[in-house]
Amino acid sequence: MTTTPRLQIESGKVVLTGEWTLAALLPELPQLQTRLAADSLAALSWDLTAVERLDSAAAVLLWRTWNERWPAELSVSGTCRRTLERVAAAPVVSGTGKATLPGPVERIGYLVLGALDNAQGLVTMYGQMLLDLGYLLRHPSEMPWKEIGANIYKAGALALPVTGLVGFLIGVTLSYLSALQLRSVGADLFIVNILGISIIREIGPVLVAVLVAGRSGSAMTAQIGVMRVTEEIDALSAMGVSRSIRVVLPKLLALTVVMPLLVLWASGIALIGGMLSALLQLDISLAHFVENLQRAVPVANLVIGLSKGLVFGFIIAWVACHFGLRVKPNTESLSANTTTSVVTAITLVILVDAVFAIATRNMGIPQL
């Protein structure tokens, strides 16, 4: 049975009796707080020898009553003293200060420092990948074929339906909108040029990269992040297994190999959608579309599109593994790094695509 906490003043001494715990204090808390708030109590002697139990909540209440200083005279049992000492040793948190938001210059500084830190981590991972490849070339029996095959299946085979569906819809939409404009100026046949070059060279690689970054890139970051949270990465290191060879490298190689194939698949499905739309809108037969496609779109465009897929795949896996390894053991860090991974990967893909566009501006463009 809980004993009611009591406070009495006897001959200039404050005497506490009963159980001073949170459960026992709640019914008597308003009355006790009023009596403890008296300024004169902190300067008196305190006797806690009759206290049956003292928990941290009551200890904090007493410590604040004493103005966070030990009384001049204090009689207390060993158990209660240890509880009070733990409260006294706790760091002081001031509640009077107001939180200040960083200014524009500080925000820019944080962004720059964060970008430099991530750039350093990405370069470090790239160097480690080169070292791992060199090691595997000298020891081919240790190549993680199973891990690579599993990642190819997850990032490639399972992504075929969504990339094919989106590619088909993009092809139909682009063909439909282009047909409306070309019909008005009597340039129906140029729809082959527009669809062929735009899909094979630009839309196909970028579309697949965005889909894969949101699907496979986020999954890679989350998987490695969960391994960090559950300490599986540390367990691999403890067993002498290289995390870069068994976890990071298979994802990099798999997505680098799979992306050109996904680009080829999505571009082909998009062209089929464009051909069907051109057949319905402009009455251009499928045979005529395919025949003109070979003349209107040089092979260099296909090479550029597949090269973009190769580079985009490496970038997405590179960024995903980097942010996955930066996850700290909490769910907030996992979600934040997964989001940052997808945004960073898509941003880098668009930047690299712009570099490709400038570097290959004189390649694959037919001369009319």
CA triplet 124, 125, 131: central angle to 5 degrees? 95
Q: How far is CA 170 from CA 195, 197, 266, 296, 324, in A?
A: 10, 14, 10, 20, 32
State the average pLDDT over residues 62-68. 82
pLDDT at 171: 92
Take residue 292 and report the two structure tokens written for it: 């003109």
Q: pLDDT tens for residues 3-47?
A: 788 888 877 788 888 888 888 888 877 887 777 776 567 677 888
pLDDT at 66: 80
Q: Are 54 and 17 in contact (CB under 8 A)?
A: no
pLDDT at 309: 94
pLDDT at 203: 92
* Count of positions (residues) in the chain: 368
pLDDT at 120: 92
pLDDT at 148: 93
Alpha helices in the chain (DSSP H): 22-36, 56-65, 78-89, 104-138, 145-155, 160-185, 191-197, 204-212, 218-229, 232-238, 243, 249-282, 286-296, 299-325, 331-359
Measuring CA to CA, which residue among 337, 124, 350, 315 is closest to residue 218?
A: 337
Q: At what angle do helices 56-65 and 22-36 cross, to 10 degrees?
A: 10
Q: pLDDT tens for residues 312-365?
A: 999 999 999 999 999 888 778 888 999 999 999 999 999 999 999 999 888 877
- Please report, as a single letter, which amino acid is at residue 258: V
pLDDT at residue 186 greater than cutoff 80: no
pLDDT at 352: 95
pTM: 0.70
- Contacts for 274 with CB less than 8 Å, ≥ 6 apart: 171, 172, 174, 175, 191, 195, 199
pLDDT at 158: 93
pLDDT at 131: 93
The Cα 335–Cα 247 span in angstroms is: 20
pLDDT at 87: 84
pLDDT at 215: 92
For the chain, what percent of residues have pLDDT higher than 70? Answer: 94
Q: Which CATH architecture has domain 6-89?
A: 2-Layer Sandwich (3.30)
pLDDT at 159: 93
Q: Which residue has the tokens 């939409």?
A: 173
- The DSSP secondary structure of 319-347, one letter per residue, reads HHHHHHHT--SSHHHHHHHHHHHHHHHHH
